[in-house]
Structure 1
Amino acid sequence: MPTIKGFEKKKGFRFFFTSHDRGEEPHIHAEGSSGIMKVSLKNLSVEYSRGLTYSEERKILAIAEENQKHFLK
Structure 2
Amino acid sequence: MPTVLRKYGFRFHFYSGDRYEPPHIHVDGNGGEAKVWLTEVRLAEAGGFSQRDLARILAVVEEHRQQMLEAWNDYFA
Structure 1: runs of 5 or more not aligned: none
Match of 1:19 in 2: 16
1:64 aligns with one of 52, 61, 65: 61
Give TM-score scaled by structure 2 length: 0.86
Alignment length (residue pairs): 70
Give TM-score scaled by structure 1 length: 0.90
* SS at 2:40 equivalent: coil
User: Which has more helix, going by share of residues?
Assistant: 2
1:48 aligns with one of 33, 45, 50: 45
* SS at 2:36 equivalent: strand
Match of 2:34 in 1: 37
User: Which has more strand, going by share of residues?
Assistant: 2
Note the C-alpha offset of 1:33. Answer: 1.9
Aligned-partner residue type, residue 37 of structure 1: A
Aligned-partner residue type, residue 10 of structure 1: K
Note the C-alpha offset of 1:65. Answer: 0.2
C-alpha RMSD over aligned residues: 0.8
How far apart, CA to CA, are the structure 1 residues paired with 2:69 and 2:24? 8
